[in-house]
Structure 1
Amino acid sequence: MRIGILGAGGMAEALGAGWAKAGHDIVVGARHAGRAADLAARLGARAGTLADAAEHGETVLAALPHTAMNDVITSLADLLAGRALIDCSNPIAPGPDGLVLTTDGGPSAARRIAAAAPGAHVVKAFNLCAAGVWAAHTEGLAVPLCGDDANALTLVRTLVTDLRAVPLDAGGLDRAGYLEATAAFVIGVWFAGGDPRTVLPPLEQSTH
């Protein structure tokens, strides 16, 4: 599959490394050309501009800081039309009592991205674990996916399974805000030294 990666940070590298290992054709673009070139060299991929990466990918990973996301996506909207666009961002920030959603009371980050590039097929995915997890412990992880386009979801499911993870359909893009809120909760529990997995019972006990 042709994959464009927007960004050259931890998530771009962690997911890109797994996809490069699976044999996908990757172009990395970033706001800083040197960082794109460095990451592409580590992945065995090609470097280009953000526009090059957007134009290259059947599927495009938007691995950008939430604060920069909408401006970048708006500038690439025409190139992203018709493509699967993966949003792995989390619109969270420290608050007085823990992490909070910066989008609280408004559309989710994923819905804002979809509005910035109305021709793209946005899929929310890969937002519940940090880059270090994706770099080292992908096997067996469930990856919830929220999206509205069947073909885009099929492409992203393939990329999930290529990481030896398990795609988990979580509804349409209107449900992406729930994933973002879950990330704020889960990450906050981790930072506080807790284990969010203990909140839910094992599957075999969940119906009792």
Structure 2
Amino acid sequence: MADNKAVIAVLGGTGHEGAGLAARWAKAGYRVVIGSRDAGRAADAAAEMAAKTGGDVRGLANADAAAAGEIVVLAVPYAGQKALANDVRAQLEGKILIDVTVPLVPPKVARVQLPEGGSAVEALQKDLGEGVRVVAAFQNVSAHQLADLDAEVNCDVLVAGDDIEARETVVQLARAIGITALHAGPLANSAAAEALTSVLIAINKRYKVADGAGIRITGIPDLA
């Protein structure tokens, strides 16, 4: 029942990656709030997603969505990551923030370009302070795979965060939508996932991978 599950707000939920995650959580019975700069656009996207998934989906402006969410997902391009997070800082206090950010710098998106100091997500944690538990996840999941709600997501997810309890919450949220998720250590380790995205983009281009290449971690015992 949705009443027993957290309300998930997805800021950037009208974009490809955010919409894919939001739709899968809605289909799995979570109450979802789509956030956008334009409340009308968010409402339209939410209505379409609710019809598609049969789920409980609302659309609000970003700040209102962040306030409504018990867990907040930041799924916007790197160029807008810090500005949006700081705009809704007050609404994030005391919550888990799942950051999907990858530091891609167009047009050279197939080249690793990590920010000075390493992880873009770790830098955001320092900006927001200890009152927000930032967890990095889903950077390497193809939006094409997420969009096909009837298909299995054919890759693993690395989940990094300094708060182990918050990390476990995100691991379980990933598993709830059929994605194998693994604890990948502290937030600093998200630099590996952020860099890996550019590597996967290069692989997609070279081998013409339509649905997006992914990773699998071997040697792990049964996670069921």
TM-score (normalizing by structure 2): 0.81
Is it true that 1:3 corresponds to 2:8 in the alignment? yes
Q: Does 1:182 align with 2:182?
A: no
Q: Does residue 155 of structure 1 match 2:169?
A: yes
Residue among 87, 90, 93 paired with 1:75: 87
**Equivalent of 1:32 in 12, 18, 38:** 38
Identity %: 32
Structure 1 residues 31, 108: closer, same or farther in 2, change over 3 A? same
Contact 2:136 2:160 in 1 (8 A): yes
Give the superposed CA RMSD. Answer: 2.6
Distance across 2 between alignment mates of 1:126 and 1:189: 18
Q: Please point out which of 58, 82, 91 is paired with 1:46.
A: 58
Match of 1:99 in 2: 111
Q: How far apart in 2 are the matches of 1:58 and 1:134?
A: 22
Tell me which of 128, 135, 140 is aligned to 1:128: 140
Please point out which of 177, 184, 207 is paired with 1:193. Answer: 207
The CA deviation string for residues 156-197 of structure 1, in whole angstroms up to 9 with x for no partner, is 112101111111111110111111111111111112226797
User: Do the aligned residues in 1 keep the contact of 2:42 with 2:59 (CA within 8 Å)?
Assistant: yes
The AA in structure 2 aligned to 1:169 is H
Report the number of matched residues.
Answer: 203
Change (3 A) 1:138 1:90: farther
AA paired with 1:191?
A: K
Q: Which residue number in structure 1 is paired with residue 98 of structure 2?
A: 86
Hey, what does 2:22 align to over in structure 1?
16
- Provide the secondary structure at the position in 2 that maps to 1:192: helix
Whether the 8 Å CA contact 1:83–1:152 is kept in 2: the answer is: no
Residues 125 and 145, structure 1, Cα contact 8 Å, conserved in 2? yes
